[in-house]
Structure 1
């Protein structure tokens, strides 16, 4: 037993349990441009019922695009809610109906970084704020990079217009994350996961089409 009598578990027992409780009532409070604010009452059994308001989100993908010299591409975007220009790995919403996540990732890599990739793997999955929204993000590792021909490049607009794009080594970005200089969640989680996966000879990678039941609409 561990501290205060709590059990000590092995790695195989450390798995999130997908087990949604019955929803007794659900209503949309506000229908937004990207996500909706909803209110739901859930039945927790012996614990009674709870009402929770949260954001319903389409989910997203992010791409850690790594070249043969272990450099990754990062772009800088203005994020109005936090009033900051943050450095991010390319990413985008799963807002095209029926589009597989890997194809969405390939599209976003082309649109944001003018890059294509021959090899795709799942690096890590995560929930951004499980207490406040249902957004699920899948971070892909993209390798075998090549540029999108200039005539086929995406015309950027809004926050993406004129955004800086740079290359940095995986180790330097890791250092920037750990020193508190970078704060974008997909960048922080993706880079730390990539460093851990690299130290294990990339044995932790999953296929690009690996199941994703953690995304509420992909169960």
Structure 2
């Protein structure tokens, strides 16, 4: 058996949208189940996001700290953002977020890992990129709200792995990106997909 996720959509007999905000909505689908049964499934409809594991020449991970109201925490995260520009290639979205949130640009990009953040409750998809060959960049961008004060720290990749495994870092794209980068580093990152790799 080949182990690989694949798309499949069971028939939906009814849909009800309960809420629609700027970033996500809440929906109930009535889904045909095996055995001639139907069941309601509530979920969050999300526009999707990207994250960037930026790794410098000393194999240090660029991390930012951001307040997350829903979680009630200040979280150490990777630069990340929403897929909120229609038609924009995901690598360009990631490059924009890296510049806006962390003041850096990268000359080399790879697809590091693709995530479904919580597939039992949302259709959100997150692509985490690996960015290398970094340099500072200044752009005309004003940070507001939670982004007003986001300190940047450079953490050696093995230390970041240890922090994730010790439960010191909780943000899911950060944990997945750190562990994926550490695993990929064993092969010199040569097994990674290109930055424009299609999503499944």
- The structure 2 residue matched to 1:194, chosen from 178, 181, 184, is 181
Of Structure 1 and Structure 2, which has the larger fraction of its residues in strand?
Answer: 2
TM-score, normalised with respect to structure 1: 0.88
Question: Does the alignment pair 1:26 with 2:1?
Answer: no
- Alpha-carbon separation, structure 1, partners of 2:99 and 2:170: 23
Which secondary structure does the structure 1 equivalent of 2:70 belong to? helix
- The structure 2 residue matched to 1:173, chosen from 160, 164, 189, is 160
Partner of 1:3: none
> How many angstroms does 1:45 deviate by?
4.1
Evaluate the alpha carbon distance shift between residue 204 and residue 47 of structure 1 in structure 2; reply closer, same or farther with a 3 A threshold: farther
> How many angstroms does 1:153 deviate by?
4.2
The answer as to whether partners of 1:110 and 1:153 remain within 8 angstroms in 2 is: no
Partner of 1:210: 197
- Alpha-carbon separation, structure 2, partners of 1:55 and 1:114: 31
TM-score, normalised with respect to structure 2: 0.96
The answer as to whether partners of 1:39 and 1:54 remain within 8 angstroms in 2 is: yes
CA RMSD in angstroms comes to 1.2
1:46-89 Cα deviation digits (max 9, x unpaired)? 35222101000000000000111101110000001111101001
Residue correspondence of structure 1 range 31-42 to structure 2 within 5 A: 31-42=20-31
- The structure 2 residue matched to 1:83, chosen from 72, 85, 96, is 72
Of Structure 1 and Structure 2, which has the larger fraction of its residues in helix?
Answer: 1
Structure 1 residue ranges, 4+ long, deviating more than 4 angstroms after superposition: none
Residue correspondence of structure 1 range 142-153 to structure 2 within 5 A: 142-149=131-138, 152-153=139-140
Residue correspondence of structure 1 range 134-149 to structure 2 within 5 A: 134-149=123-138
Which structure 1 residue ranges, 5 or more long, are not aligned? 1-8, 214-219
- The structure 1 residue matched to 2:142, chosen from 155, 171, 181, is 155
Partner of 1:4: none
> How many angstroms does 1:167 deviate by?
0.7
Partner of 1:96: 85
> How many angstroms does 1:104 deviate by?
0.4
